[in-house]
Structure 1
Amino acid sequence: MAAPRRSRPHRGRAAWSVVGVTLLAIFVMALSYVALMQHGSVVSAGSTPGTTAAPGADVTAPPTEGQSPESAPAAVTPVAVPNRVIAAIDVDSAVRVVATECPTPSTIETTGDAGATWRPLEAAAVASVQRVSADADAFVSLLGLATEGCAPDYEQSFVGGEAWETAPDELAASWFIDPANRAGVHSPTGDRQAPCAVVVQVAVIDENSAAVLCDDASVHATTDAGNTWMPPAPVPGAAAIGVGADAYRVAVVNQNGCAGAQLVGLGVAPGGLAPIAAGACLPATVAPGEAAVASAADGTTWLWAGDALGRTQDGGATWL
């Protein structure tokens, strides 16, 4: 009788070994794929490895090829809306205003001794004053927001600020900025689109000619009542703008090694605004918004910056 055939279990073990190795290889490949996908979701072009930017966040682009991190352009701090204005009457006389938030009336003062002393004037029903005008015949005007309703308002006095009256016709014929829409500017011929997204201040020559300071420290000028605008002139450190005898005057703060303020001229040329070199430094501690500049008919320019008050008769080359 033939002996029964023995089973061959080693073949079964070999088969299971092959299956095990195959499954292990598949498992390892799957883990590698998951890890790769996870890393790919974090690192993307223009971002720093290991970080993500929130939606709408302001992310500074990395330096371009050949540019060192130190030479990458720094973020520009927006120019603050000036919280003060000044009107120059002559070398000794001026009117200044500290602009307040509406509906609080602005504080108005006048000097006749080159700023050694200041006398308060009767408060007008206007806040957030953006321009003041004055002359030697006791005329003073304020353009800002009415304390009642906080809409644009023009107040004037013919008795040196001892009494005030509203002048809606003068408002309509003036250049001004409505704080509710700083992407526009009102000219004597009507509302106009501004040349930038945020206008900080306007300096006026006449009904057709004016210049605006934008929050990116650029200045744009017009000679046709805002229908068209000249190419922008960048003015680093710009804090306020006014009008001089032969050029716009821009107060710049903490530039060119000056711990304080200087004047930069911008002349109107056929191709646009032509910068004039910054003048002498007026030492001052200046916070954002604490600058005002204006020129008188006699050629004297007053600069009120932070805790300092300066006067110049040569465009800022020297200070009196």
Structure 2
Amino acid sequence: MKSPLFPKLNRSESNKSPKNGTPEKTYSPNIKDYELITDIGGVGDISYLYLAKYLPTNEHVALKYTDLTLSPDYELVDEVIRTIKNSRMCSHPNILPYFTSFTENERLWTVTLPLATGSCRGIMKDYYPEGFDEPVVATILKEVLNAIVYLHDNHMIHNDVRADNILVDQNGVVRVTGLRQLVNLTQDGGYMKHCFSILSDNIEWAAPEILAQHNCFDEKVDIYSFGITALELAYGRTPFDDWSPLKILLSKLEYDCPGIKTNKLMPKSFLKMVRACIRKNPKERPTAKELQHHPFFNYAKSTDFLRSTIVTHVKQNPKKREPLKDES
């Protein structure tokens, strides 16, 4: 039975082609046409990924699952619709595409590329609690930066860069997701140099100018979040891990970003890059294009490196999780 929460989703959001005319794959909006193979892991705060077989063609896909009963009001529904619509505006090798979205009972299913793992945050939690080695960090960040450059070139702000929203597919290609808070700076045929956004649940990664609330912000908020994410990938946590939201807010408004107490050593070029990204004054932060030429990315390797290390390690050491309950 189809849920009434998304009465027009199948027609309006399932099979539109991206704006740039990239060929679009078409998949059935019927869960019976998919066979769940195994869980992949969590993504973001409210969704889960499953590797599945699309029975009409026997090809592998990933199904993103969201339980719509998690929220009693329309807020959750609005959030997932916004995520789907924002994802449809983007077409880039490092941004996770959404092919088809449909509902079954009170579940939202989204069909996407077959992924090898859950989010980088989940991978670190299960396998690398102290963070990744510098070649892995550099490779992942370089790919994420490609996605950010694409968004900024198209006058969009991701506005939620963090390890929870970074995935790795079966070929080791990094895919950015979590576009629920994406900001489009083009409105009514014009371009806005600044914008304003309400606070969300990403306060650890949010730039000080967003937390100030009386200031407008621009693409430089993604650079700040990128810097915090770099620390998260390198050390398995942010500088604000286990801090209360109020303490984080006051710290970011009054002081520079604190350091992370650790014995793990990272290259000086990494620390210099992070310091440049997390400057309190957004005008002093580099642009995404400028960051692409930073010396730290000399440590970056190809996506085959991620496939042969991270992807292979996760596949060879699967974690047992609770199976999806059948509510049909």
Q: TM-score, normalised by structure 1?
A: 0.23
Structure number with greater Rg is: 1
Q: TM-score, normalised by structure 2?
A: 0.23
Q: Using CA pairs below 8 Å that are at least 6 residues apart, which structure has the higher relative contact order? A: 2
- Pick the structure with more strand per residue: 1
